[in-house]
Structure 1
Amino acid sequence: MVIKKLSLRNKAKGKGKRVTLRPNRARSTQNLGNGFRRIQFPAVTIGANDFLFLFLSAGRGRAVVSAGWTISNLTSAWPTDSFPNSDSEWVIILENPTGVARSVIPFLITKSRR
């Protein structure tokens, strides 16, 4: 994880917006069975020609499994990085190469530790 964290710090220097999202701010939560849960977070704005750093927290007693996102306006967006930063946090770094601000809806899959 040291390599990923250094990479994140280098990319983050002076760029973009950083947002931390926790399950208590979820837009919706779906029980997928067998301890798995999908969390849909509220939309976050990414500026024109900018970066967005999303830190998605699994919450107490849960571990991250995977994450994803969708973005408004059917034009290019570049995922710069997506990785588990720890067993309870997933990081997604996106770049919006367009001249228009857009909305990003992040998703997180978690598993109960029990």
Structure 2
Amino acid sequence: MTLHDYRAPWERHAACAGTDPHLWYGRDDVYEPGWQAHQRRQSAKAVCRSCPVQTECLLDELTRPRSEQHGIRGATTAGERARLLAHWRAIGSIPQHTPPSDTDIMRNLLEGEAQERAAS
């Protein structure tokens, strides 16, 4: 099985295109010890960090309802994305109770986060 069901044009340029989806989402039918899950997530994130469409991927995931967010997307886990959204909601940058829909605002927020990480 490979990832190949493209929803958006940018997905064709994704570094993960054609890879085994188990790297990004794990397996439902096999027990995965914590250390293996960690290694798998780190491997997936490494692919994401080299991806030319990492920002578009992350924006796509962040604008989805929380119940639809799974696996590694844009070099982040679902938990990391939840914390990022919670932070932006707490400072009033995005709506409190609905998924953010303005990708330009989201892109600016992501750029600000990247600048803060680079400065620290």
Q: Tell me the TM-score normalised to structure 1 length.
A: 0.25
Higher share in helix: 2
Query: Of the two structures, which has the highest relative contact order with CA contacts closer than 8 Å and spacing of 6 or more?
Result: 1
Larger of the two Rg values belongs to structure:
2
Q: Tell me the TM-score normalised to structure 2 length.
A: 0.25
Higher share in strand: 1
